[in-house]
Chain A
Amino acid sequence: MSWSKTSPKEDESAFTDQDSGSGVPLPKYSGVKSLELSAQVLHKYNSKIRVHVVCSGFMYGNGEQNDIFYEFFRRAWVSLHPKLAALPVIGSGNNNLPTIHVTDLALCLDRILLHGRDYKNYLIAVDQSPSSTQRGIMTAITEGIGSGDVQETPISDVVNESWCEFMTVNVKL
């Protein structure tokens, strides 16, 4: 979430490891950002330490706690009512949601532990899914296991849902 409020680049290209200082968090995640910065300068105080900050996309996969897509998988799978089975897309749904499968993230960390010297101080870990927009992800879920329908929903209708702030992030990593 340390990139959650970052404005897109003018040329709409993706942010990379080189843009480590460009991330702007939502105010409630500013502590995460400052912790990242503190960790990145640790080697200046202790030359024996090598730090790698890994910024991952939204995790999905093995039912981990942060699985923000769980609710949508559940609704697509169990809902018989057509209105509930149609997954919500907030606004146009063209915002980019960076994601990564939790197993891929674990593999990344494994590689960094084993071959850390080959990697930079700041790393972005995201998957290269063709469905990286909110609408693309919702469509993939509902077409995969549900009715195949999505419904455009105004943000005012879902602003109190726990997943709302994540689904409205727009950052291309």
Chain B
Amino acid sequence: MNASNAGTPSPSETIKLLESKAKPKTFIKQVREADYIILDISQFNCALEEPEMVIKALKFQDGGPSTKE
């Protein structure tokens, strides 16, 4: 399918690789803009730094809590 003719881009064009270590600022920005986030921590030896960073990014915006209840 020709992308220029399509109203919606094909999935391959919408996939972005986020790098938490190499580009932390972009990573946090992209995470906060996402509609859905799936954190897969089911791998037995997976590093938890990245999911922790995601939770922190969603919890605090601009250095403080994003919304208080």
Contact = CB atoms under 8 A, between A and B. Distances in A.
A31 B41 CA distance: 10
Given A32-B48, A42-B55, A42-B58, A47 B67 contact: yes
A113 B43 contact: no
Using C-beta atoms within 8 Å of the partner chain, give the interface range for chain B.
20 to 34
A99 interface: no
A16 to B, nearest CB: 20
A159 to B, nearest CB: 17
Q: Which size bracket describes the interface of A in this complex? A: 10 to 19
Given A35-B51, A109-B38, A113-B36, A46 B58 contact: yes
Contacts of A44: 69
Contacts, number: 43
Interface string A26-39: 00000110010011
A48 B39 CA distance: 18
Interface of B: 36, 38-39, 41-44, 48, 51-52, 55, 58-61, 65-69
Given A56-B42, A59-B42, A65-B43, 20 more contacts: A1-B44, A31-B48, A35-B52, A38-B52, A39-B55, A44-B69, A45-B60, A45-B65, A45-B67, A45-B69, A46-B58, A46-B61, A46-B66, A47-B67, A47-B69, A48-B67, A49-B58, A66-B43, A66-B44, A109-B38
